[in-house]
Structure 1
């Protein structure tokens, strides 16, 4: 009997090795101006010791709920570009990684909004640095959302443009980064997911003039960073892209949404939008439940 039990146990597949995932970014990564900032910080490895949970902690929780084994780390600093991380944080970035998620400054170049030259340069340097230690690491880069504070007030780089325009401009430039560096294999279309949430009537298009009934504000009080719904959507998009999982499987009882006070109906709509943007061929507003 003991021999049969031993043979049965030996025949079982070994548990999957957890994927090691590193996030490199800034306040957009760590959830500034929202309850996401310190959320479940004990579940991730903050390489800077700042006690951050942020989007990486949401990512980790989504994976745990769907039984996807991951170990998640982050190296983040507010208001920083990829250039800064390369020049100042190579020790914290160093490691053996299966997946690395890059997030550039909100306007790409802090001094020249919308200019992609430095992003191309330093995203490439980071990719080569990562691949030197982890030759098989899969590297993705996130395309950021529109900043209403740079769109609605006069005298700003995107003043007078539709709220969706900045995100589309940023995506075009991030595509240039990926074309320049084959090591970076994927874009996480977070900005376009924000646009889709607006098109689907889930989110309000302009937080400056009040929030329409039945809609959510994706942005924080500064109309710059995201709010909790925006970071939730960002984490869903990155989760779907990095793991290949269907975020709709999380459903209306998803733990983070409950903890952070998101309406379950809103949470499932954001899950659907994330799935559409990553796996469903693009935004289909009429199909958002």
Structure 2
């Protein structure tokens, strides 16, 4: 049952109250004489006195045709008083503030209405004088229940509006089920007019379909080490059947943390390029109409020709076209992103490295320029996930150490893993925060320092906050394109 009180159309929400009929058919105890003060109406035929009237019962209402035995002590012992009618003052029978347990004899079920319409009763639990009507609307200005309606039975499949004044004026109460005690609903002895209306069943909301996201890449996507490699794998579809979770699994958990619905899949093969995926995995990539696709290229763009963007530009464009138009389940509205890799520490600091002699900033700038070239030359790409920029920001802002080969500074994280190649747990989580912000459009900082995904990856609240901030910062510096 739902209810609201209103005056002149202004709604006043009330708390929901129980509508369960009392087994006693109307027994109520009161803290003060003449049925005033705190009230307690038990729902059993015997028991201990509880609630707001413990040790202070001064009046009692008795169901018609019943006998109520009051006992001084909670175990039905001590002084005893039998009452067979309403008793407004227990002091008059030397039992004020003494009742601690009770039994009811002769209680009968509340009478069923004599009409299929609406019935109004003078007392609680459908007792006392009554007025029943089949009318769909009306005023109650005469008869035995005028200004003293305490319970109402309503027709099945209906809702009834009760009004304080004739002509539907004053306070209003809507009831959608029988109401055995209008005091519970703050409407006792107030009803002067009514409407009987059809019960409106709210339509079942149509669930919003989960957005389908596919991550295509290699170990920079699936994570080479635990906890990233198998993170949340049970809730991610690995199209290759390898049981990977990786960054897609972390991203999936973040969407759950944010209360969002995303169906996340991964198609990742270690050490491979986008050319490999196009040439060997198209049936998997084309198995669904994706809403979002993230394309992650080899760490140095081309393993046989490092930093040569030709293959990356070609196959990112072919895959984008396949998702949008060519594949068996095209979605022209899909958002296709490229994921900007980070510069590997082993290629920065080891002899013969691709970026040997360059700073981290210079190395990532070279990568960034090539990803930006893909965006500039392919109108179908929506933007990038600037993960490499996140590495630079983490180092420049003192969150991460610049060179793991000379030791990790106290208080900083290693952005790379033990091999100086793949992402650490911190950087994999930052990568997922970047994916979360880019794909969902939400501020990653909204997930908070106690985000479950970050905690599951072993980050402290301070590290989670730092990773969220870095993700937000680099995303703001690299907005999506206007397609």
Please tell me the TM-score bracket, short chain as reference: over 0.9
For the pair 1:97 / 2:285, whether they are aligned, the reply is no
In structure 2, the partner of 1:85 is 277
In structure 1, the partner of 2:211 is 19
CA distance in 2, matches of 1:107, 1:5: 63
For the pair 1:231 / 2:423, whether they are aligned, the reply is no
For the pair 1:265 / 2:457, whether they are aligned, the reply is no
In structure 1, the partner of 2:258 is 66
Structure having the higher strand fraction is 2
The gaps in structure 1 that reach 5 residues or longer are 283-289
Which contiguous aligned blocks of 4+ residues in structure 1 show a shift greater than 6 angstroms?
none
CA distance in 2, matches of 1:82, 1:152: 27
C-alpha offsets along residues 45-80 of structure 1, whole Å, 9 cap, x if unaligned? 000000000000111111111111110011000000
C-alpha offsets along residues 256-276 of structure 1, whole Å, 9 cap, x if unaligned? 222222111011111011011
CA distance in 1, matches of 2:199, 2:275: 59
- Matched residue count: 278
Asked if the contact 2:429–2:457 (Cα under 8 Å) also holds between the matched residues in 1, the reply is: no
CA distance in 1, matches of 2:220, 2:462: 24
Asked if the contact 1:154–1:160 (Cα under 8 Å) also holds between the matched residues in 2, the reply is: no
Within the candidate set 243, 247, 251, 2:448 is matched to 251
C-alpha offsets along residues 221-252 of structure 1, whole Å, 9 cap, x if unaligned? 11011111110111111111111111111111
More deviation, 190-199/260-269: 260-269
In structure 1, the partner of 2:336 is 139
In structure 2, the partner of 1:274 is 471
C-alpha offsets along residues 159-185 of structure 1, whole Å, 9 cap, x if unaligned? 011122222111100111111211111
Asked if the contact 2:341–2:387 (Cα under 8 Å) also holds between the matched residues in 1, the reply is: yes
Higher relative contact order (CA 8 A, sep 6+): 1
CA distance in 1, matches of 2:352, 2:213: 40
Asked if the contact 2:301–2:312 (Cα under 8 Å) also holds between the matched residues in 1, the reply is: yes
CA distance in 2, matches of 1:260, 1:174: 28
Pairwise CA RMSD of aligned residues?
1.4
CA distance in 1, matches of 2:276, 2:334: 21
For the pair 1:107 / 2:304, whether they are aligned, the reply is no
In structure 2, the partner of 1:287 is none
CA distance in 2, matches of 1:199, 1:13: 48
In structure 1, the partner of 2:313 is 120
Asked if the contact 2:252–2:264 (Cα under 8 Å) also holds between the matched residues in 1, the reply is: yes
Within the candidate set 219, 222, 238, 1:46 is matched to 238
Asked if the contact 2:302–2:312 (Cα under 8 Å) also holds between the matched residues in 1, the reply is: yes
Structure having the higher helix fraction is 1
What is the Cα deviation at residue 34 of structure 1?
3.3
CA distance in 2, matches of 1:5, 1:149: 67
CA distance in 1, matches of 2:200, 2:295: 47
What is the Cα deviation at residue 134 of structure 1?
1.5
CA distance in 2, matches of 1:150, 1:5: 68
Question: How does the TM-score come out when normalised to structure 1?
Answer: 0.93
For the pair 1:172 / 2:365, whether they are aligned, the reply is no
Is the radius of gyration larger for structure 1 or structure 2?
A: 2
The gaps in structure 2 that reach 5 residues or longer are 1-158, 160-175, 177-197, 479-483
Asked if the contact 2:218–2:271 (Cα under 8 Å) also holds between the matched residues in 1, the reply is: yes
In structure 2, the partner of 1:29 is 221
Question: How does the TM-score come out when normalised to structure 2?
Answer: 0.56
Asked if the contact 1:38–1:51 (Cα under 8 Å) also holds between the matched residues in 2, the reply is: yes
What is the Cα deviation at residue 13 of structure 1?
5.5
What is the Cα deviation at residue 22 of structure 1?
0.5
